[in-house]
Amino acid sequence: MGESPNVIGFRFLKTYTNYVLMGLEFAKHGTLLDLTKILKKTKKPLKDEQCSQIMKSILLGLKHIHRNNYVHRDLKPSNIVIADIKDFSKIKLVDFGLAVKY
Ligand SMILES: Nc1ncnc2c1ncn2[C@@H]1O[C@H](COP(=O)(O)OP(=O)(O)O)[C@@H](O)[C@H]1O
Ligand SMILES: [Mg+2]
């Protein structure tokens, strides 16, 4: 699968006797679940444009996966990460543990 701004970047895979180490691009601003908790605490809702940018990023990420004939099967706020809190066009899908090829 090629890279997409809305799917976490794969960096390397290393196999050892008892485990496999997978290196991924790091999204330093946490998950969408973390963000919802912070917003609830601070009582500061997102702006409409921010919400639509988040939705657009998620859908573009899904479109990329589906174009490559994969289904994620575990889409939820804890599997959506934020690379840059000031730019929701960089929201990325993670956790392909349940994904399958069709
Ligand atoms: N690339 C990443 N950048 C930043 N945080 C990540 C990244 N991948 C995973 N995480 C964090 O680690 C948590 C667990 O990773 P995940 O791949 O969802 O595994 P699982 O849910 O199967 O334990 C995520 O909910 C998120 O908080
Ligand atoms: Mg997960």
| Active site (annotated) includes residue 74 | yes
- Output the residue whose Cα is nearest ligand 1's atom 2: 26
Tell which one of 20, 37, 81, 90 to mutate to probe ligand 1, the residue whose CB is within 8 A of the most ligand atoms: 81
**CA separation for the pair 16, 45 (Å, rounded):** 45
Per-residue pLDDT tens digits of the chain, which is 102 residues long: 789 999 999 999 999 999 999 999 999 999 999 999 999 999 999 999 999 999 999 999 999 999 999 999 999 999 999 999 999 999 999 999 999 999
Provide φ and ψ at 70, rounded to 5°.
Answer: -115, 150
Q: What spacing in Å lies between the alpha carbon of 95 and ligand 1's midpoint?
A: 6
Fold of 10-101: Transferase(Phosphotransferase); domain 1 (1.10.510)
**CA separation for the pair 84, 96 (Å, rounded):** 21
Q: Is the CB of 82 under 6 A from ligand 1?
A: no
